[in-house]
Every structure is written in structure tokens, then in C-alpha cells.
Amino acid sequence: MERLRALPVFAGGPLARSAPQLKIRRAQRRPNRLGFAVPSESRLSVTAYPGIRRGDVLETLLHELVHLHVGRAAEAHAWHGPTFKRTLARAMREAYGVAIPTPRSTLHGTYAEAIEREVSPPTPPRPSAGARAGGGQRERG
């Protein structure tokens, strides 16, 4: 979280001055709400659940940090309006190198998918059935 707090997008804001309180909640299955932030108390929560991917965690954490930075904007859709979306898109570029068109909604998943593609190592190809069974001839030397 310290690396994320130091992003240029957060310079001069509350995250640059002090670390928020972070709570990791655990759930038996994927919850409806993956995280939440309380800007007035400088705290956030992220929920871990079986099968959560790295991209899900990273998207949720940065999403909630942006809430702490932006707060409730004085505009339409105060929590997820244009200011929030612009700030989140910039933070995703700075943090994870994810530059995708700004999603229309703020539902979870769009950035998580892009993060998975960007930061997760590619899965190595599986050997063919013949290679696993030792079916190939080796040259002896």
C-alpha cells in the first residue's frame, strides 16, 4: 500500500500525508461488495475470498484508495462520478501500467482483467501427451 500511496496521482492529498487504516475481511464466498472506504475516518476494507485473483485484490485496493483521495465530489454521481473515474484511470496507469478506455460503469472487473493480463506471468504451455509419456527420441552423445 505504501507504493500506491506514493503515486503522483495522490500527491498533495490525504494519502500522501498519512497511511489509512486497512482491514482485510475474509468471506466464505465472493461478496457483493469487495471493499469500501470511509474518507472521513481514513480507513478502508478489502474482502478476501476463496478463488480471488491478484487482479481482483489490486483493483479493489486501488479503487478504495481513490475514494479516500477524492472523497465525495460535488458533482452528479458523487462517489463514482467523472472525477472519480478520471482519477481511477490515472491511478491504474501509474500503478499497474493499465491504460484502457475509461469504463462507463465502476462495477468491479474491468480493471482486474486488464491487471491480470498486465502483471500476471503468462501460463507456460503444457507439454504434449507424447512429451509427457517420454515418447520422443533423444540424441545420445
**pLDDT digits over 58-87, tens only?**
999 999 999 999 998 888 888 999 999 999
pLDDT of residue 28: 95
> pLDDT tens digit string along 122-140?
666 666 655 555 544 544 4
Whole-angstrom distance, CA of residue 75 vs CA of residue 6: 27
Average pLDDT over every residue of 9-26 = 95
Domain positions in the chain are 2-121
pTM of the model: 0.80
CB 102 within 8 Å of CB 114: no
Q: Please work out, in degrees rounded to the nearest 5, the angle formed at the alpha carbon of residue 31 by the alpha carbons of 45 and 44.
A: 10
- Alpha-carbon distance 108 to 125, whole Å? 29
User: Please, are residues 10 and 42 in contact by the beta-carbon 8 Å criterion?
Assistant: no
Q: Which helix (H) or strand (E) holds 119?
A: helix 110-119
Nearest to 88 by CA among 53, 61, 56, 57: 61
What distance lies between CA 107 and its chain's CA centroid? 12
Edge-to-edge strands, sheet with 21-26: 21-26, 43-48, 35-38
CATH of 2-121, one of 2.40.50, 3.30.1490, 3.30.2010, 3.30.750: 3.30.2010
